[in-house]
Amino acid sequence: MAASGRSSAWTRASGRASRSSPAGPSPWPRYGVVLAAVNIAHIEGEPVDSRDVEPTAGEIRVVKTRSREVSPENRELPDDLARRVALGELDVEAALAEHREGTASGGTDDADGDGD
């Protein structure tokens, strides 16, 4: 360590090496993050009209669990309705109503799907 007490001297405080200055720790790391955020915000992007989104298996599972929680019959939505809920096309209540009526594609409790 330099005996001159210069501001660029390395010190050891609380078991950690740090660069000391007369004013204390440098505020620059904080400003670096802010500067990076500003630079990112100024990057031009491309307008997006539509985006294909596919819900994950976990998201569909969460919707199915939620449907059992809100349904008085403890009814679980089939995958196709749960997917539509995850995509925002339906809310859980509307999907449950559609499932009760049997109007969902592939959403019937009927084994052969013929509506009988």
**How confident is the model over 39-88, as pLDDT tens digits?**
999 999 888 888 888 999 999 999 999 999 999 999 999 999 999 999 99
Ranges assigned E (strand) in 1-110: 10-13, 16-19
What is the signed CA dihedral for 44, 47, 53, 58, rounded to 10 degrees? Answer: 30
> How far apart are alpha carbons 42 and 109 in whole angstroms?
53
List pLDDT tens digits, range 10-41.
455 544 555 555 556 665 667 778 888 999 99
pLDDT digit string (tens) for 77-97? 999 999 999 999 999 999 999
Per-domain boundaries in the chain = 57-101
Entry pTM: 0.49
Orientation of helix 57-70 relative to helix 79-87, angle to 10°: 100
